[in-house]
Chains A and B, each alone.
Chain A
Amino acid sequence: MSFEAWLPLLVVLSSFVTGVLILFVGEEQLRTRSILNLLGAIAKLLLVGVMVWGVFHRYLFETRLPMLPDQDFVLRADAMGMLFVSLSSVLWLLTTIYAIGYLEGSPYRSRFFGFFSLCVTSTMGIALAGDLITFIIFYELLTLSTYPLVVHRGTPEALRAGRVYLTYTITGGALLLVGVVWLYELAGSVEFTERGVLSGVPEIHYPALLAIFAILIAGLGVKTALVPLHGWLPVAMVAPAPVSALLHAVAVVKAGAFGIVRIAYDVYGVEFAARLGVLEPLAWLAGVTIVYGSIRALTQDDLKRRLAYSTVSQVSYIVLGIGILGPLATIGGVVHLVHQGLMKITLFFCAGDLAETLGIHKISEMNGVGRRMPWSMAAFTVAALGMIGIPPIAGFISKWYLGLGAVQAKAYWAVGVLAASTVLNAAYFLPILYRIWFLPAAGEWPKAERDQLETRPTLLVPTLATAFLAFAAGLFAGSRFSPLGWAKLIAAREYLT
């Protein structure tokens, strides 16, 4: 086979091999492990770079291996998948650096980094899966590889969180499986195709297609944390900060959201889905989740829990973008996949910095912390303002396109949801910023370990990098290779009729 046929598999394997090797590296071999980690992450980034260039020029990268007699294992790089792949591989590198610093000296690091890499592998597989059965394989693998990360600390609380997490996600996975088997039964093998494949199904099967859509969304909605399936997410906050960052910004919630994107655009086809009448309920569900998540975030004092509820709310922007028919809303939803990832990971990195450096876990303890950790808190501020939707930060772009899309589709209620959510975002983020910068500190802060820097460089550099990316994604949104440019490319390919 040619290079084009191997590249998607190589991208998946680059982190898989890393992960398996790390699992067998001795606990004390810090240097070997770090080198393996970084080599894997950088190799992946290079491969992904080649693939992005290729997909832009309409090269076909497809790995196809026989799995069942009439069913292939398909990995394919398309514009939609590449968006998620690029996001994950960039953030994997940064989170790895962060995690090396964060976990310095704590036990079971080989296990942690091993499963961490397997988790990224699953994310890659989800992004590149060319059909639903391949998608399911990686979707379930993601559940299994994140479980050890959630329970990593081994405390009773962590074990409880792990149990809740599994109960939700394995049930969701089972629902998804039922939906997919049923769909295959009805329509034959379903490969992801731009603009969907189901429009040719005879009308007599429409009720079944409706039911299948509901089952699939319920299955995927668990990881997406759609209300009322979001219960696992705030509980899973006991995991170490790099895991929360990864779970919330990249891997798990995005896997669910990405699955919904795939179902709506590349299986049903968004126009066919609209004809079936399934988009509107989906949009309403997203609207409810957006508002509910924001309201719950208001009352949380634990920083990571507030961020978690904020995630519940923000991820549904993506779903809202799917639910509103029209290219502008699509652009807004799809680009938010990246934007929310960049902003939310920055926020979680900052939460980890605070916990690791000053032992701060609660918002009420954050008074005046801006003076002690100005760089981290500047990053936090950028990301928080972005979440609210202040230009020119990335979050503004998402909201702008979502709003335009809602107006274009005459879904004025969605504009209302966006406005309400923006007010609520401001209501739960601005008080934090006020505490950070304007309130006096309660007492003396612990001294920095090394005099010149506010925290370890391995923690600070990734935080600043993601904050910068969130800023740049908004500022240079007009560029062709910005997330927005890429989302426009996707929308053009999904609606090109």
Chain B
Amino acid sequence: MSEVSSASPWMPVLILLPLTAGTLSFLFRRRARRTLLAAALAGIWWSLIGLLADLNDADLLRYPIGGWQAPLGIDLRADGLSFMMLAMTATVGSFISLYALGYFADDHSAGTRFWPLWWFLWGALNAVFLSADLFNLYVTLELLSLSAVGLVTLTGDRESLAAGLRYLLAALAGSMAYLMGLALLYGAYGTLSLEGLAGLIRPEPANALAASLMTVGLLLKTALCPLHFWLPPAHGSALPPVSALLSALVIKASFYMLLRLWFEVFPAGLTDVFTQGIGTLGTIAIFAGAWLAFHQEKLKMLIAWSTVTQVGYLFLTFPLAAASPSTALTALSGGVYLAISHAVAKAAVFLAAGAMLKVTHEDRIDRLQGVGRHLPISLFAFATAGVSLMGLPPSGGFVAKWLLLTAALSTGQWWWAVVLVLGGLTSAAYIFRVLRRCFLPPSKHAVFHPVPLVMPLTALFLAGIALALGMSAVFPLRLLERSALLVAGAVASSAVAP
């Protein structure tokens, strides 16, 4: 491995800045919201650029908070993968924030509650992506889940409270499982740092139990079928900017942890039974989710079910990356790239849908007739982001699919190629089900309400980024290659393979 730089001060800044912004927005409520937003966004982007500059010099960055080294202190760590996830969060987060300014312009009570929770959630996300040990990851994930539950119940109506409660119970159950696994590992090895464990871990029953507990916990939070039951009501009933950040960002945090856990800490445990099994669950999610998405009456529920299918694709990474060391990098890059493209595209879709719903005051797909005439930009954004979700070129979704397909065919696992291709067809079916509505002329009784221009525009920019990810994938993919996870994974699976 190449050299490790001692300290990059941008890491704690990236965590503390949103947390501070959250506290301030709680204290000052409605005043200075825009100033605060502008300052925080500027700070976050500035820190990201600083972090990128530091990553230029070293593959792995560290920052021991308070000067204490692991295993005692809180250790922060960043590599190419962390940076990509942070950048994804910042990109999607910035546009969602701008959108929220417009969306909550006439709803002050929900708006006041939105901002502090959203800032805390952002801070928690950044902390997840920067944590260097499993316990830190637990704490930050907990903060993430709690803010997310708070955001789901923002409106306080019965439907969202029920969804929020269900979400809360699922999140707590997931955390419990994860924590128990954590305790087992700590008991056995006395350390929880990712790198420390990676060197120590031995194949023994206690490890298998710990790993399964942690995995089940994280799968629950990532909503892989059949543990997805909480997701559609939560993502479907939340307010659009909230749905966007839940689908785009929150589930990616636990997916990220699963990648770290398996490909960095337990690569020896990636047996065929496990990886093929998890790929099978992913396949079920892809097809069942698409079937259910296709049959939804409500637009946001359709998009929420689409998230279930996309989570399914993410888990195809496991069988593809574990099968052969030579294509592990391709498959993992494909999986991460899919996570990132999905984040951007799904946020765009939810934001566009939010604008459409605000215009029609209806959440039913069959009432969308003629919406294209009043919100051409939103419709265009929806369609463009839909291209990425279908995995058609030119889009980030296509690049991801290309990488995964390459990995599938070169490891001879043609059945995953079939799943990838057929899955793309099913997503086309439900996305065009929405789009074709919009080509119909508006019905006579339809009433359309105006929306602030920032709402369609933010969706359009995100959709544009989803396309751009397909046209210039070199830079992000090169960054991903320089990540502790992928190198460790490739090395370890070569030890398993004959």
Q: List chain A positions with a Cβ less than 8 A from chain B.
A: 23, 65-69, 73, 107, 111, 133, 136-137, 140-141, 143-144, 147-148, 151-152, 154, 159, 162-163, 166, 170-171, 173-175, 177-178, 181-182, 184-185
Contact = CB atoms under 8 A, between A and B. Distances in A.
Contacts of B421: 174-175, 177-178
Contacts of B403: 68
A33 to B, nearest CB: 15
Interface string B376-404: 10001000000100101110001101110
A185 B392 contact: no
A259 to B, nearest CB: 15
A246 B179 CA distance: 62
A163 B436 contact: yes
Nearest to B411: A185
Contact of B417 (A73, A144, A178): A178
Shortest 6 CB-CB contacts between residues of A and residues of B? A137-B393, A181-B405, A66-B474, A174-B421, A140-B392, A185-B409
Contacts of B405: 177-178, 181
A107 B442 CA distance: 12
Given A67-B474, A185-B409, A162 B436 contact: yes
A29 to B, nearest CB: 14
A68 B425 contact: no
17 contacts: A65-B471, A65-B472, A68-B402, A137-B394, A141-B393, A141-B394, A143-B392, A144-B387, A147-B432, A151-B439, A152-B439, A154-B441, A166-B432, A170-B424, A170-B428, A171-B425, A185-B410
- For the residues of B in contact with A, the DSSP-based class is helix
Contacts of A162: 436, 439
B172 interface: no
Interface of B: 372, 376, 380, 387, 390, 392-394, 398-399, 401-403, 405-406, 409-410, 417, 421-422, 424-425, 428, 432, 436, 439-441, 471-474, 477-478, 481
Given A144-B392, A174-B421, A68 B477 contact: yes
A166 B428 contact: yes
Contacts of A184: 406
B436 A67 contact: no
A356 B89 CA distance: 54
A144 to B, nearest CB: 6
Nearest to B424: A174
A431 B240 CA distance: 61
B474 A170 contact: no
B406 to A, nearest CB: 6
Nearest to B422: A174
Given A66-B472, A166-B428, A171-B425, A154 B439 contact: yes
Given A73-B471, A151-B439, A174-B425, 12 more contacts: A65-B471, A68-B402, A68-B474, A68-B477, A111-B376, A148-B439, A162-B439, A170-B425, A174-B424, A178-B405, A182-B409, A184-B406
B457 to A, nearest CB: 12
A163 B473 CA distance: 32
A345 to B, nearest CB: 26
Contacts of A170: 390, 392, 424-425, 428
A154 to B, nearest CB: 5
A168 to B, nearest CB: 11
Given A154-B439, A185-B406, A67 B473 contact: yes
A77 to B, nearest CB: 21
Contacts of A141: 393-394
B297 to A, nearest CB: 19
Contacts of A68: 399, 402-403, 473-474, 477
Contacts of B392: 140, 143-144, 170, 173
B411 to A, nearest CB: 10
B345 to A, nearest CB: 15
Nearest to A148: B439
B472 A159 contact: no
A177 B397 CA distance: 14
A107 B373 CA distance: 11
Contact of B402 (A66, A73, A143, A181): A181
Contacts of A154: 439-441
Nearest to A156: B440
A181 B409 contact: yes
Contacts of B474: 66-69
A491 to B, nearest CB: 32
Contacts of B424: 170, 174
A68 B399 CA distance: 8
B27 to A, nearest CB: 42
A175 B405 CA distance: 12
B471 A67 contact: yes
A69 B409 contact: no
B436 A159 contact: yes
Most chain B CB within 10 A, of A23, A65, A166, is at A166
A211 to B, nearest CB: 11
Contacts of B376: 23, 111
B340 to A, nearest CB: 15
Contacts of A151: 436, 439
A151 B439 CA distance: 7
A137 B440 CA distance: 28
B472 A67 contact: yes
Contacts of A66: 472, 474
B323 to A, nearest CB: 14
A152 B477 CA distance: 39
Contacts of B439: 148, 151-152, 154, 159, 162
A111 B478 CA distance: 38
Nearest to A143: B392
A170 B422 CA distance: 10
A99 to B, nearest CB: 18
Nearest to B393: A137
Nearest to B390: A170
A137 B421 CA distance: 16
Contacts of B372: 111
A73 B380 CA distance: 25
Contacts of B422: 174
Contacts of B401: 177
A3 to B, nearest CB: 22
B70 to A, nearest CB: 33
Nearest to B327: A185
A147 B425 CA distance: 15
Contacts of A147: 432
Nearest to A178: B421
A128 B409 CA distance: 28
A311 B167 CA distance: 56
Nearest to A159: B436
Nearest to B441: A154
Nearest to B417: A178
Contacts of A171: 425
A185 B327 CA distance: 11
Contacts of A144: 387, 392
Nearest to B421: A174
A69 B478 contact: yes
A105 to B, nearest CB: 16
A136 B399 CA distance: 12
A377 to B, nearest CB: 34
B472 A181 contact: no
A179 to B, nearest CB: 10
Most chain B CB within 10 A, of A73, A173, A175, is at A173
A320 to B, nearest CB: 30
A17 B434 CA distance: 27
Contact of A23 (B380, B393, B394, B432): B380
